[in-house]
A and B are shown apart, each in its own frame.
Chain A
């Protein structure tokens, strides 16, 4: 029913109805509600309402509206077009930028009820229809396939004239996924979706919205199946990986085959030390003596060159004079046993088997036939007497002692004989390293070639050496020494007389040539060329002293002091030269000490250069 008059009389009637029909089981209809009003193209609009309780009676609904600024009430022109419970406003009935006051009235026999009024301005309720003709296709480009989505605007929207401006939005998801990916397409009607996964099925939907309005509904989903493909980049990388794996395998196999040569190339073997005669096995066996003996070169030190030189240092012994006793016994044993017999054989002189004995004996030797057997078990001496260069001299019981003979080999070769009497001699003087404590005793210090093989490996030797040094050691450097009487016998010889052995195991000797007797002071002894054995270290190294000056030395000596001792220099091979007097070198002791270098195995490094 349509009511064209104002609502007031209508309401009155409604109230009357309600009041007049109380208990019939029917009631006035419940209040309807305007749900919403929408305009799809900003030209028409539609309003929908929701009916309330109908109260058991057939109820009719009517929509009334009023325009802004006017009191005229109009009823809905079209209840049909938009469907049930709706009102459609056509273009003629639609005014823009004007507020509509809309309300719905439900009425039945029992009464009426009016809905809440709704203010509507058409331009603000625009919600377009969904886009149309959504099409999805798979296209290819350089980077692979991609999705292209095309659509059309909703037909009702007039974007051509600019009346409505629409913006679009689409969303994509894989068919099995749950979350959508939304993209804003602006005002264009197509969109590219890149990097889809191969072999998957995708769903696409599109919607639109006016510049000021509501979003439309989503279109029905469009399904698209992505073909299977391999990205070019990935296939390239796979190929690269395969080839490189193959190459690596090839390389590894080659390396394995040529293992040794590769190892040789990358890690060249470190050349080991090559010492002639050096046998590692011997060293490993733990017998150093054997090894060191093995190192002895038969022809070393060269003795031939010294022969001439040493000739002058030959000493002829006389039975009456001090006789050097060369004991064949092994010094190393440290026992000065009575090997004097052997030594006697060698030297022809009496030998002192013990130190003490030696001392006693040798205290006064003038005229004694017995020679000072300082040598004790100077097996080396005996071996020297043989005059052989063969380091393995007979009677040597210990390999170590073998060194000695080599030391003396050259000079003694003619000097020493097995037999003594003529004197043993040169053997001592061929102990150049042994420094003479006594100034009178001259030792050749640094007879390099002969010292080379010199080695004291046992304390016994040490003692021996000490004693020996004191005794008639022939020193090569005879030139400087005051030519004492001994020189009359030989140029280098100067014989001393052992006087005492002090605490430090130093033989104190006096030159026999000195008529004064055991006078330690011998000023005329320059002793420059000779060095004294200062000490033998635990490493079996002979430390030689070097006298700064004879007198000084003598003085020190007299006082029974070791005094400042200048270690002797040991010269290394100076083939042409005789053993220089270390004493000549007025080097400070400390320097000498420093300069003294010890080679391994107890050898004194004779590489020091003397000025």
Chain B
């Protein structure tokens, strides 16, 4: 009886705490914190914000790169290279119907896979851009920022997975095998390669954002998710 009461009180306090939004107390990376926690909804919101920001910055970076280094005539020839980004590596839903058929668990995992896939290539991209003679500092800053934020997002998604799915994280450590797959070997020119990388990253960022938003609507269990 006494333990039940204690449990109830603890729950009450925690829920209140969560309702008050003490976000500062429990950052996303706090994996060890067990006393107080953020609600799943708030975590998702944060993850979505991260993903939105990453996408926006990637879009800006790509546009910047395109203006600086890519002649106009090349735009049409992008697809000839056939860079596939990540679509060929592991199955990612490409339509709404497909996404709807995927379970929450798989959605989250998909997001995580995407994130983990891009952490190292971004670092490489950053290093490559640094070697440019006239790369604008804005572009470099953006790339750096994206790299950092992606890592934060990874942490958040891991927490989400732990919370929502109550399972351990599925870490993907075989980045090295992925990277060469992504980058076609015949693409010698650094510029084109970097451009392709930026384009792919932008797409994948959009994917992450879409999946997370979709996931959020499912989680809230509201009749209409448009109340966002």
Contacts and interface: CB of A to CB of B under 8 A. Distances in A.
A, B in one complex: yes
B225 A99 contact: no
Interface in B78-93: 78-79, 82-85, 87-88, 92
A284 interface: no
Given A123-B206, A160-B217, A42 B96 contact: yes
Contacts of A66: 79
- Looking at chain B's contact residues, the main secondary structure is helix
A98 B96 contact: no
A159 interface: yes
A119 B78 contact: yes
Given A69-B82, A187-B228, A116 B76 contact: yes
A598 B177 CA distance: 126
Contacts of B87: 69, 97-98
B206 A97 contact: yes
B98 to A, nearest CB: 9
Contacts of A43: 95-96
Interface string A161-173: 1110110000000
Interface string B86-119: 0110001011110110000000000000000000
B224 interface: yes
Nearest to B227: A187
Interface stretch (A88-96, A129-137, A372-380): A88-96
A117 B78 CA distance: 11
A37 to B, nearest CB: 15
B52 interface: yes
A160 B217 CA distance: 7
A153 interface: yes
B88 A69 contact: yes
Contacts of B193: none
Interface string A92-133: 001111110100000000000000110101010000000000
Interface string B115-130: 0000000000000000
B225 A159 contact: yes
Contacts of B224: 159-160
Given A91-B97, A99-B78, A158-B96, A69 B214 contact: no
B207 interface: yes
A162 B48 CA distance: 12
Interface string B173-201: 00000000000000000000000000000
Contacts of A163: 96, 99, 210, 213-214
Contacts of A279: none
Nearest to B219: A162
Interface string B198-212: 000001101101100
A99 B79 contact: yes
Interface residues of A, number: 30
B50 interface: no
B58 to A, nearest CB: 11
A211 interface: yes
Contacts of A96: 94-96
A187 B95 contact: no
A91 B78 contact: no
A211 B214 contact: no
Interface residues of B, number: 38
A185 to B, nearest CB: 13
A152 to B, nearest CB: 10
B55 to A, nearest CB: 7
Given A121-B203, A211-B52, A95 B94 contact: yes
Interface string A136-162: 000000000000000001000011111
A43 B214 CA distance: 14
A68 interface: yes
Contacts of B203: 97, 121, 123
A200 interface: no
B103 to A, nearest CB: 14
Nearest to B215: A162
Contact of A94 (B95, B215, B223, B226): B95
Contacts of A42: 96
Contacts of B206: 97, 123, 212
B75 interface: yes
Contacts of B78: 99, 119
A161 B214 contact: yes
A161 B104 CA distance: 13
Given A68-B84, A119-B76, A97 B213 contact: no
Interface string A205-224: 00000011000000000000
A68 B228 contact: no
Contacts of B85: 97
A101 B82 CA distance: 11
A388 B184 CA distance: 149
A153 B213 CA distance: 18
Among A95, A97, A119, A121, max chain B CB count under 10 A is at: A97
Interface string A186-217: 01000000000000000000000001100000
Interface in A406-421: none
A530 to B, nearest CB: 110
Contacts of A121: 203
Contacts of B55: 212
Contacts of A158: 96
Interface string A281-300: 00000000000000000000
A123 B99 CA distance: 14
Q: Which 9 A-B pairs have the closest CB atoms?
A: A162-B217, A159-B226, A69-B84, A95-B94, A162-B225, A162-B213, A162-B214, A160-B225, A69-B82
Interface of A: 42-43, 66, 68-69, 91, 94-99, 101, 116-117, 119, 121, 123, 153, 158-163, 165-166, 187, 211-212
Given A161-B217, A161-B225, 6 more contacts: A69-B84, A97-B94, A119-B79, A160-B226, A165-B213, A211-B209
